[in-house]
Amino acid sequence: MTRYPPSAAVRRRRRRLRSAAMLTALAAVVVGGAVVAVHQLEDSEVLVRERCSATVGSDTFELTPTQAGNAALISGVAVSRGLPARAASIAIATAIQESRLENIDYGDDAGPDSRGLFQQRPSQGWGTEEQVMAPLYATGAFYDALVQVPGYEALPITEAAQTVQRSAYPEAYADHEPEGRAFASALTGNSPAALNCTLREPDGSGDVLAVSSALDEVFGPLGGVADGHRLTMQVTGTTGWAAAQWAVANASTHHITSVAYSGLEWVREDDGWTPTTSADGTLTVTVAAATP
């Protein structure tokens, strides 16, 4: 049978089919590459949004690791002084309003010389600029004034905070009462395992002696024992949970990789608290080892 060459129309149709097939294959390659790229990005530390959350009841609030570390200091000082969690709630809500819980070194039109976590003014007798820029001093000064307010525990936060701060915007303190209460409940140890931090991998090795020193500075001597990259101490009650959650809140600063207390363990890479075999009353903090 005689074969005739394909017509121009058939040749054009075949070319279109080949082109479509090539484009489909190219699209598959591009999509496949994009999927791989997306998976690589999803696994990348760059996409981890570092944050610390306090969950009490049905409410969850978030702070940055820096803010959470300052909230932990404020709460820890309340614990070391034997103050109620309400004092820490007032202090944290006040610091959120005054400085966003950051140790800022500038004021505003209302208080051009105000500084620190609570925007305390040297010109109003809070101490020197160097002192109010030291979070431990500033927090102690705030509590010194707060405990002088009669019945502060039962007062609305606006009234208690305003009596101490003498702010131009006293009603603003109430806006931060819910998160102040949640973080204070967790960080004073009244709500065990209520604080969690989502963090990237440590970018350096930790120092257990520095962790021990920082804990002692906030809570008083806890008798920590260092063993390599692990710090162990015996501490009970709400102080134990306050110290444990202080360690989680400060995991970014001190390159902490895990915190174990009272049968639960927070593991940095697992992002949360899980059951473990830790003994009651034993707090163990592990820091990152040096990279070989």
Lookup result for tokens 């204070």: 184
* pLDDT confidence tier of residue 38, bands split at 50, 70 and 90: very low
Three-state DSSP class for residue 143: helix
Q: Which two three-digit tokens encode residue 245?
A: 């959650």
- Give the model's pLDDT for residue 291: 66
- The residue among 177 and 1 whose pLDDT is bigger is 177
* pLDDT confidence tier of residue 280, bands split at 50, 70 and 90: confident
**Arithmetic mean of pLDDT, 155-174:** 86
Mean of pLDDT over the chain? 87
Q: With 0.85 as the threshold, say if the pTM is over it.
A: no
**Arithmetic mean of pLDDT, 161-167:** 88
Q: Tell me the one-letter amino acid at 151.
A: G
Contact status, residue 65 vs residue 52, Cβ threshold 8 Å:
yes
Contact status, residue 264 vs residue 282, Cβ threshold 8 Å:
no
DSSP state of 167: -
Three-state DSSP class for residue 52: strand
- Give the model's pLDDT for residue 8: 46
- Quote the CA–CA distance of 11 and 268 in Å, as a whole number: 63
Lookup result for tokens 């109430």: 174
DSSP 197-244: EE-PPPSS---HHHHHHHHHHHH-----EEETTEEEEE--HHHHHHHH
Contact status, residue 186 vs residue 180, Cβ threshold 8 Å:
no
- Give the model's pLDDT for residue 147: 98
- Give the model's pLDDT for residue 2: 39
Lookup result for tokens 């820096």: 66
Closest residue by Cα to residue 77 from 95, 55, 63, 57: 95
Count of Cβ atoms closer than 10 Å to residue 279 Cβ: 12
pLDDT in tens, 166-192: 876 667 888 999 999 999 999 999 999
- Quote the CA–CA distance of 257 and 266 in Å, as a whole number: 8
Domains and CATH numbers, the chain: 52-187 (1.10.530), 199-287 (no CATH)
pLDDT in tens, 111-142: 888 999 999 999 999 999 999 999 999 999 99
Three-state DSSP class for residue 18: helix
As a whole-number percent, the residues of the chain with pLDDT over 70 amount to 82
- Quote the CA–CA distance of 1 and 128 in Å, as a whole number: 107
Out of 45-49, 77-81, 214-218, 276-280, pick the least confident.
45-49
- Quote the CA–CA distance of 235 and 223 in Å, as a whole number: 9
Q: Which two three-digit tokens encode residue 220?
A: 């008083």
Q: Which two three-digit tokens encode residue 1?
A: 């049978």
- Give Cβ neighbours of residue 98 (< 8 Å, ≥ 6 apart): 114, 117, 118, 119, 165, 167
